[in-house]
Structure 1
Amino acid sequence: MSPKNPATAVVTAVDHCLDLAATWIAWDGRPLITDGDNVWTPHKALRRIGDHLIDHLSEVEALLSGSPTIPDGWHGRSVTLDSDWARFTELDLSEARQRLPRLAQWYELRYAACGPDEWDRPRSPNWTLREIADHVTGVTWYADQVGNRFGEAPTSR
């Protein structure tokens, strides 16, 4: 039996995010503020989830090919874009259900293709692929900031 693909946890994390996103249609348009000064909306959470998945998938591909990674220039959670304030609709949820599982599957397939010998290979100063997959599962934090809009409060770090 082969070792468990560490990117399978990314798929599970995205599933958690989408479970919460299914409740965001009930969002009333008011900002959610966590950690004292972080403003969250459903669209901002989905944007950060997607950006995080893309950023680290690009890093994985660069590391596997021996290419330099693209430096991190994201503004991250420190900015809320005008588009983040849009109403969250059934179609927005449908689009997220199409986009995010494909990104998560890409991780799982890429990790399967490169194989277990690559997962823990040191890549100093970068993380190992296993460490990257573990880090990426943290995308749930973004979804947790918006939380379950049917009654559960957002969590804080």
Structure 2
Amino acid sequence: MTLVKFNPEKRNNGSLMPGFNDVFESIFNDTFFNDRMVARVPAVNISESEDHFHVELAAPGLKKEYFKLNLAHNVLNISVQQRNEQDDNGKNYSKREYSYTSWVRSFTLPESANAEQIEAAYTDGVLKIDIAKREEAKAVRRQIEIK
């Protein structure tokens, strides 16, 4: 049995068959299809401290061997080529929705970044990249006396 979402607000849209469009909207607006039509790339948090830029990329379930980081022309590329492991141990799937794909995220480094000092670590499903700032770009802080 298939459930079809019906929207009574759209009932009087001049269509000869009022429920006809609801069937297609139900199919194509379903999260199952929408999730697969949208490119999947991991979410990223970018922050800045006094002497570093920090990039945190949420990529759970991966192994650190899948990641490739490279820097070319001041652009940091983070890519994943995940191998689809066929070790199913004799399982006979009736439905399989895990998606194993490749993706690339690219970030242009600011002029203040020191491309020679980039460190990366992958723990607990988060890839953390620390990019040092150049000495001249580090914030100069001092206490100003009020007279």
Q: Does TM-score exceed 0.5, indicating one fold? A: no
Structure label with greater radius of gyration:
2
Of Structure 1 and Structure 2, the greater helix share is in 1
Q: Which TM-score applies when normalising by structure 1?
A: 0.22
Which has more strand, going by share of residues? 2
Question: So what's the TM-score if we normalise by structure 2?
Answer: 0.23
